[in-house]
Structure 1
């Protein structure tokens, strides 16, 4: 690579596009004074229990309630809060004029003796127009100043549209109750919009995108319960049919916990806001509580206080707060509540169909939302926007990018051109670049419903001289695999483990697959390939070619597991001794703190960057910085040396890091770049005199290029002309290789957007590349071309993918740490089975120490780590 650095690339064919960003033509003109709202807003003069026995907490921890209090405060003190201040629902309030540091009492009840909150404001800083300007200047603003200035801008643009549609003013997305789709189990799919301020070089933009979410079905609570349980008769909710302790009861309890309801009758408080369900109770009408010193039932209370006779006193009810109980029949589920739990396969499929939009449809939805007849943002009429002086352009910006040249693919039988704008190629008639070796292989059939002659026909097409075909007991996976492996090597008179075991599974057998992979990956070091029933039986050419090429033993996915290479780029991809690394951290799902995060690293060892060695580890949950990075890089260097028979050393390292958010760039630049350099500077090797010494100094160490690859963003590109086939792929998206490296790029780091794959359905998302470190001074053209080419060496596909292959593989290794498909799950011992171990269930308090050592002891490296076993 070159020794100089350039900001903007020049390679490729120019292409104009529309992007879903709107320029802020006029930035804030006022000084905003930043106030700390204090640790809590304290509740004053509220009795310990309300009339119906509900306990009241003195702390306000819910953002929605905090907003209500601050809004009421501004109404009660119009001389102080005029113009109105912007509030983020937590600790930060931004006022367009100075406010006296003080405590402001706020009355949240019609009863002057109840519900008085005290809000304490303390000024901590001021944000001037010059601070905003520095966000978009070359080099950007300092980290702390940048964060707070951007927070201010986000609150200003989000406050009015979010409140208009009933969502917290600080929420990144809001959703509209139009065009919804019913899902199974009491859920609905909603359309909505995402909005975010993006400071880029010399411009301040608002990124607007379509958002989709799953919501609880609004309306009567008993109706939601019936939908969830799959029942139609309301009598099925009676205690005679729905009883505590049953599976249905426990599922309903879990489903409803935290859902916001408002009583249609039976409350003295305003009914426009929701209150969360804490639990469900049986026979709500018979529930007793103490009123005025005497026992009373809920049925009697509602009849005497509100004149309402319960129709179904035997139906379940919900507990609100500490001890307030409301019958389900008087409760209404408020609309717009996000469902954040795992969806069923049926609902997942339906939701994906609901979410998919072709590029021109997505752009039309966005533009109509911003400035159409039924626009939903209303930027121009927002009082907070008007006060700030901000003005937003009503049209999305148009920018010019380039389409990089598509590389040639190299097979052993010769080079292959990719079809224009398709990003895909056909392997029929091609010989793999470097076939792996299969000395002995065996087949294990775990599906009892498959006839052996049907299986034999399929296997024959994979390998004419099949060594061993055996039925296997799905209840004794490990023993069966060991027996089959031993039989196979005995028949072949081979004294090493089999090169491969092909396992045929029933349609839905995740536990069998997990046990097979654990046995092969970490127990025995035998590559395994699982095939699911329902796909292979007809033995069609296309499917067989995905597994085996031309019915020969050079198996495409398996080939890479065995150390072979399916295809490569037909051009010099890198300087000879360059190591390409991909790394990622997979975190547990939202709110899960009792499982570790999983780290992964894959590192190339060959000149074509097609063969990789792999490592995985665990660390404390939600920690983004890779804690074992120095050790991982050290081991990768050792494997690189072994591949080259100890005759070569890495001269350059290109490190692709996935999963880093914008706010973590500086932290990653400081800590992970340092960890890589520590691995290089501390690497010890034998010197010519036979003594072990550090291999490199700061001056002689391999040059590092550190690139963050981002996918969790909302930037999209749309060809200007919908029907222009010269400038779009078959799905209407920009063609593979489209790149943008100016006009909407970062003010601090060199970066670019690259759409490297062809769209299959919906609107393609480009990947965002941020160059954190560039020691060799590579040009942006060189980094773009390398990244695009690496998207063509993904060994499991005959098409370019959305991110470079090493990033894809590191993601495959760890994925989200609570997903069943994460390969790292198979690295845990049976005693530490992921999600079922004592360590996974004993930590319920978020402040309790995490048992990391237990997880580390229960995690094992793969015995196949020097091959791409995870494919």
Structure 2
């Protein structure tokens, strides 16, 4: 599908000029680059590949002067034609005998055959023209620019030359358990209309503390003496935890000889006493006067002091005692942090906007110039020059919408993006027929619990919600979660007509109770179909008005009697037909979708990705149905989109008693720049194919074969917008130039929008900062318009997106992305609780060493063990 033609820029709102963390390439590359992508044999993983290519260039200066740049995979770029007649080896074959190879078989030859393409300055200029970055060859030109700017600083700081971010130990902070927080920088070339920019941002990472391996193990297990590691043996819980923690950590040998870091494959008990075969004799790693295995003393002048502590297996058969290993510098920790460490890391990484911009500027033009733009010989060889000041751009602050309640229309507090629901009644309040409170927090005080419940009842009454009778309060047993919930549910409906189900179970949890919460959600969502709401210790005890109101709003949104509630909705301030169509105030005009894919954690290969779709059913875009599914791990395109969409349309038709949607506005989360075209080709087409083939639905909700819901030419018009907010998608930030123009956190006020100067050269797009900052530097969301069959103007789809950020059901402030996108993300997260127990607890040990290629993923097993649940027509995911 071709990119959409760019509409005129938006004009609504008041102007605001800001700085952004983008720096212009004021002189573009003037050199011609020859591109080689056939490097044989393949050199494997990126870090190893860089080592080999680096040594190859070092050993052949007559060919590789100036140095070529390499992406760590298959692409090498040189300003000199390597295979020209002037070179001594015109066929491009160079022999590599890499010093430090543990295995002589690793000494190999590298063959670089003829260049496949040449990139001229005109090719780089093409990137800034409309649609210029979309062609395949131009995509590779962008990759060339990326590695030119990244190579020098990454090599200087000890990271892979093609890494998007590097980190330094300067001003680092110890977190706990052998982990540290480091500051660093992210950098990326961004072709925009009319110019090339480099987006530079502060990056933060958790890394393994470098230094002696035994010290890292002691910190992780909270041991004070290295001898305590003697007691950590196979089969113990400490062994399993340490094994999982250290797997993949790269170590070097404590020796003056330079040896590359290699990853840990597994742990070995009593590493200093491990027996191995040498010269056809059995010996041990421990230096000994009796045995001939004085290996480390003879070869490395290291005598083991603690031979009984663990060792590590490196490669196929090498074993090293822990005390001879050093943890390599700057290894990023990618596993899940504990809540306490996550909180400490957040504090470390939080910066006010002015401090963040100052740190970025110092990285480029400060005394140390850690980004090396002025001194990098790679940049100099390209003929590039990069500006040292962040560019200033013009944006606009959109008008804030009004929020309507039963008794009045609320205007938002200036620059705050929030409102107060105290003494406000919902537009169409309903009833909680029966509900219960289950207390799993064993330290909870009964009087405090009852006080919280009374306060909550008062807030519900103020919002206009009727509660029939007092809620049943029960004590929950942590080891009998389902039984406790079932008992409370049964007691809450005593005296009610047969078949009555509780409207809601409110569950009070201790501070750390992830497993109890999972069981609560599985019981409520899947087993019995009763909405549940969990509140953690420390949240409910103060019983503050605003918090209780937020809890009440969640209760209202989840209640089965709330199918026709409207918590709040946006005043229709648009008068033209296009705005009416886009906002859905024409009762059977538009419906809004949000879709997302949730992927397993880093390094997890034996769990599927989860897909989620929500779709509005009411005219005000406040009520949604939800669907989910599973697919192959780390697959971004939604495989079951057609099935979920058909089910969601059925809900809409049943809600409106036979009416079908006339327009569809679809927000898609989590798509990276390189996937826009793929989404357009597959997901947009899948939606259109569903709409074109959709049969009619009878009053019982059954599809009628051989019928068509839409007559030829009457297919609903589709608007498809990708929304990117997460850090893996973009790093653009905005910084007010005047303190008086900022909100209370120093960020741009809610509604700040930018739709030119830094926008995409391929698709119509805009940045919208829809929320007020709370702490740190706010991240705007990036909206890319992939399809616009309604022909909406920039003003309309920007205004629509901003308004949809104000209808998130449980918030009394604007949020950072439109509500349907937010809901889809919540559906994916909630789906983790919808797997059967055997799948939940049957994963393989993350520390187990598996040799050979990964086994085929058993998708069917996960599909069979997944249940969408009983509450998909309610907003159970809140």
Deviation at 1:446, TM superposition (A): 3.4
Q: Distance in 1 between matches of 2:301 and 2:381?
A: 48
SS at match of 1:548: helix
Deviation by residue 1:350-390 (Cα, 9 ceiling, x = unmatched): 11111001100000000000011121011122111111111
Structure-2 change in CA distance of 1:363 and 1:748 (3 Å) = same
Whether 2:636 is the aligned partner of 1:624: answer yes
The 5 A counterparts of 1:655-666 are 655-666=666-677
Deviation by residue 1:123-176 (Cα, 9 ceiling, x = unmatched): 222222222222111122443212211111111111111111111110001111
Whether 2:262 is the aligned partner of 1:270: answer no
Residue 4 of structure 1 contacts residue 777 of structure 1 at CA under 8 Å; is this kept in 2?
no
Q: Distance in 2 between matches of 1:557 and 1:287?
A: 61
Counterpart for residue 11 of structure 1: 12
Deviates more, 1:583-592 or 1:419-428: 583-592
Q: Distance in 1 between matches of 2:613 and 2:590?
A: 16
Deviation at 1:636, TM superposition (A): 1.8
The 5 A counterparts of 1:3-152 are 6-40=7-41, 60-100=43-83, 101-109=91-99, 116-122=107-113, 123-152=115-144
Whether 2:638 is the aligned partner of 1:600: answer no
Counterpart for residue 405 of structure 1: 399
Counterpart for residue 438 of structure 2: 444
Counterpart for residue 324 of structure 2: 330
Counterpart for residue 48 of structure 1: none
SS at match of 1:379: coil
Q: Distance in 2 between matches of 1:348 and 1:228?
A: 16
Residue 594 of structure 1 contacts residue 843 of structure 1 at CA under 8 Å; is this kept in 2?
no
Counterpart for residue 775 of structure 1: 789
Residue 593 of structure 1 contacts residue 846 of structure 1 at CA under 8 Å; is this kept in 2?
no
Residue 605 of structure 1 contacts residue 612 of structure 1 at CA under 8 Å; is this kept in 2?
yes
Deviates more, 1:579-588 or 1:137-146: 137-146
Residue 190 of structure 2 contacts residue 197 of structure 2 at CA under 8 Å; is this kept in 1?
yes
Whether 2:529 is the aligned partner of 1:525: answer yes
Structure-2 change in CA distance of 1:118 and 1:845 (3 Å) = closer
Deviates more, 1:84-93 or 1:536-545: 536-545
Counterpart for residue 681 of structure 2: 670
Q: Distance in 2 between matches of 1:617 and 1:170?
A: 35
Residue 431 of structure 2 contacts residue 561 of structure 2 at CA under 8 Å; is this kept in 1?
no
Deviation at 1:307, TM superposition (A): 4.3
The 5 A counterparts of 1:780-799 are 780-799=794-813
Structure-2 change in CA distance of 1:516 and 1:243 (3 Å) = closer
Deviation at 1:347, TM superposition (A): 1.5
TM normalised by structure 2 equals: 0.89
SS at match of 2:603: coil
Q: Distance in 1 between matches of 2:297 and 2:845?
A: 49
Q: Distance in 2 between matches of 1:686 and 1:485?
A: 35
Counterpart for residue 477 of structure 1: 481
Q: Distance in 1 between matches of 2:847 and 2:67?
A: 47
Counterpart for residue 582 of structure 1: 594
Deviation by residue 1:526-578 (Cα, 9 ceiling, x = unmatched): 222223333323433333222237xxxx9555469833222111225434121
Counterpart for residue 248 of structure 2: 258
Deviation at 1:7, TM superposition (A): 3.0
Deviates more, 1:614-623 or 1:801-810: 614-623
SS at match of 1:177: strand
**Structure 2: gaps of 5 or more residues:** 84-90, 288-293, 458-466, 574-582
Counterpart for residue 462 of structure 2: none
Counterpart for residue 44 of structure 1: none
Whether 2:148 is the aligned partner of 1:167: answer no
Deviation by residue 1:243-279 (Cα, 9 ceiling, x = unmatched): 33322233223222222222223x8x524x3222333
Q: Distance in 2 between matches of 1:737 and 1:328?
A: 55
Deviation by residue 1:604-644 (Cα, 9 ceiling, x = unmatched): 11121111111111111111111111122222222112222
Counterpart for residue 306 of structure 2: 312
Deviation at 1:852, TM superposition (A): 1.6
Whether 2:826 is the aligned partner of 1:812: answer yes
Deviation at 1:312, TM superposition (A): 2.9
Residue 432 of structure 2 contacts residue 559 of structure 2 at CA under 8 Å; is this kept in 1?
no
Whether 2:372 is the aligned partner of 1:386: answer no
How many pairs were matched up?
830
Q: Distance in 1 between matches of 2:771 and 2:627?
A: 27
Q: Distance in 2 between matches of 1:466 and 1:113?
A: 78
Deviates more, 1:246-255 or 1:183-192: 246-255
Residue 839 of structure 1 contacts residue 851 of structure 1 at CA under 8 Å; is this kept in 2?
no
Counterpart for residue 509 of structure 1: 513
Q: Distance in 2 between matches of 1:301 and 1:198?
A: 53
Residue 831 of structure 1 contacts residue 837 of structure 1 at CA under 8 Å; is this kept in 2?
no
Deviation at 1:432, TM superposition (A): 1.3
Counterpart for residue 355 of structure 2: 361
Q: Distance in 2 between matches of 1:295 and 1:469?
A: 68
Deviates more, 1:655-664 or 1:281-290: 281-290
Deviation at 1:74, TM superposition (A): 1.7
Deviates more, 1:293-302 or 1:206-215: 293-302
Q: Distance in 1 between matches of 2:270 and 2:517?
A: 44
Q: Distance in 2 between matches of 1:847 and 1:681?
A: 40
Q: Distance in 2 between matches of 1:110 and 1:192?
A: 30
Residue 626 of structure 1 contacts residue 672 of structure 1 at CA under 8 Å; is this kept in 2?
yes
Residue 503 of structure 2 contacts residue 561 of structure 2 at CA under 8 Å; is this kept in 1?
no
**Structure 1: gaps of 5 or more residues:** 42-59, 815-821
Residue 572 of structure 2 contacts residue 585 of structure 2 at CA under 8 Å; is this kept in 1?
no
Residue 5 of structure 1 contacts residue 777 of structure 1 at CA under 8 Å; is this kept in 2?
no
Deviates more, 1:453-462 or 1:207-216: 453-462
Q: Distance in 2 between matches of 1:85 and 1:691?
A: 62
- 2:226 counterpart (209, 219, 234): 234
Deviation by residue 1:480-539 (Cα, 9 ceiling, x = unmatched): 433433333332345422222223333333333222222222222222222333332343
Structure-2 change in CA distance of 1:762 and 1:838 (3 Å) = closer
Counterpart for residue 700 of structure 1: 714
SS at match of 2:380: helix
- 1:832 counterpart (839, 842, 859): 839
Residue 201 of structure 1 contacts residue 743 of structure 1 at CA under 8 Å; is this kept in 2?
yes
SS at match of 1:490: coil
Q: Distance in 2 between matches of 1:561 and 1:505?
A: 26
Counterpart for residue 570 of structure 2: 569
Residue 503 of structure 2 contacts residue 560 of structure 2 at CA under 8 Å; is this kept in 1?
no
- 2:875 counterpart (863, 868, 871): 868
Deviation at 1:835, TM superposition (A): 5.9
The 5 A counterparts of 1:188-227 are 188-227=180-219
Q: Distance in 2 between matches of 1:446 and 1:114?
A: 60
- 2:693 counterpart (682, 686, 692): 682
Structure-2 change in CA distance of 1:813 and 1:78 (3 Å) = same
Q: Distance in 2 between matches of 1:248 and 1:6?
A: 60
